[in-house]
Structure 1
Amino acid sequence: MKMKNRVLIVDDDKELCALMKKCIEQENLSAVIAHGGIEGLRLADENKNANSLSLVILDVMMPDMDGFQVLKKIRETSNVPVLMLTARSDEEDKVSGLRLGADDYLTKPFSINELMARVNSLIRRYTTLNPTAETDSEYIELSGMMIDKTNRIVSMNDHVVELTGKEFDLLFFLAANKGRVFTKKQIYTQVWEEEYAFDDNNIMSFISKLRKKIEPDPDCPFYILTIRGVGYRFNQEA
């Protein structure tokens, strides 16, 4: 039997959590609830290890650990979509969440129809474009390419390719998660390990330079694919 997509709801408002869970389950999805940030991180980790989590709905204002802290920890290990909830319409809150890797934002109060439209959209994008393919290996063997993380060496058909430090980090990150789609914001946060500076041209420039060094035909890439309107992924077939 195919496992239902699972949604993790992290919010200290128990009545709202119950309502969201009921509506989510009516869409033939499953849902688990955490009433605080620490519990939410524990459940996120448990479900990540089981590859069963398709979306996190995360409130910003919680007493034990705020949503920004929870999001930052989640993004250290997971690319799961995160929908942030806030009782404030402060633009700075939204910018902070997006910089940390949130995928979407809803301001309370919101309609259930709008919530479910965003839930279904995020899950559909994630499950359609992100097959499970993740590795912690120090050595990655691909079609025509070898990546040695320990010695930071990349070879194409037994010829070493000279890459800068960040080009290597970018290539290894994408190849280690091949098949998974990342936004420019997520790539920047993971590879540069700092808050996203909204400089899409920087990411695009690195991708372009990397393609010129590793792609047989940079104008028709085989390894690093562009997902129009979303970001990039490493070819699952490589």
Structure 2
Amino acid sequence: MKYILTIDDDEALCKLVKKCIETAQVPVYTFLRGEDALSFFYQNQNDCVLVILDIMLPGMDGYSVLEKVRAVSNVPVLMLTAKDQEEDKVTGLQNGADDYLTKPFGLAELTARVNSLVRRYTKFNPRHEENQRLLFQDMTIDPSAHSVEVQGKLVSLTAREFDILLFLAQHKGRIFTKQQIYQNIWKEPYYQDDGNIMSIISKLRKKIEPDSEHPFYVLTVYGVGYRFNEKA
């Protein structure tokens, strides 16, 4: 059965999150320590649809847990932090988190973000055309399996990396600004770019491009934005 994993040393908060977002179809498992959560996750990672992860944890901190999760899975990760500081948010996103919430947060906002990340990852009620495999030179993108193969080898991407690649590939040759990419992927207003999209695309290129310094698939249109190579 699919499940959501919550890791936070605040037991009361874990119980509240569990009560707020748990459904009959998607149970929530909570852990107070990163080491215990990882032990459970490694045994059940294929069924996990979301990790809710606090930065400040006893023992192994949230960034270390995130690194371990990202080494084996592209499951969405929602970071929680009590620090309302830009560098904490940027660090989490640059290290593979897909979204973040600053404590204290409203339960309605938590529920909305959880639903958005889970829906995007599991592709609930996908339209037929959105679910078709995309075939390019040495690359196959399978939206239903949430997978990418390059030269016949499976590539591990974060949820955001996959979403951006799929979005650009589905609009092959069309140029998108960072604002357009952000609004289509994050589904929220765009205020000011802090380098997150550039960072995600840089990491994406290192995983999919034959030469990340001279990309073939995801191209930069200088002064404008990005596009997927129409010759791919």
Q: TM-score, normalised by structure 1?
A: 0.59
Change (3 A) 1:128 1:175: farther
Cα separation, 2, equivalents of 1:37 and 1:110: 22
The unaligned stretches of length 5 or more in structure 1 are 132-142, 148-169, 194-201, 210-217, 222-238
- Pairwise CA distance, 1:103: 0.2
2:22 to 15, 20, 25: 25
The aligned residue for residue 10 of structure 1 is 7
- Calculate percent identity across the aligned residue pairs: 44
Alignment of 1:37-116 (within 5 A): 37-48=34-45, 51-116=46-111
Residue 35 of structure 1: aligned partner: 32
Aligned ranges 1:1-238 → 2 under 5 Å: 3=1, 5-26=2-23, 28-48=25-45, 51-128=46-123, 172=150, 175-177=153-155, 181=162, 183=164, 188-189=202-203, 192=206, 205-208=215-218, 219=230, 221=232
Q: Which amino acid aligns with 2:56?
A: M
**1:78 is paired with a residue of what secondary structure?**
coil
Shift in Å at residue 63 of structure 1? Answer: 1.2
- 1:214-236 alpha-carbon deviations (Å, 9 max, x no partner): xxxx6275xxxxxxxxxxxxxxx
Matched residue of 1:176: which SS?
A: strand
Aligned length: 167
Q: CA deviation at 1:73?
A: 1.2
Q: Secondary structure at the match of 2:150?
A: helix
Structure 1 residue 172: Cα displacement: 3.2
1:117 aligned counterpart, secondary structure: helix
C-alpha distance 178-37 of structure 1, shift in aligned 2 (>3 A):
closer
How much has 1:39 moved relative to structure 2?
A: 1.1
- Runs of 4 or more above 6 Å deviation: 143-147
Higher Cα radius of gyration: 1
Question: Where does the alignment leave 5 or more consecutive residues of structure 2 unmatched?
Answer: 127-134, 140-147, 165-196, 220-228
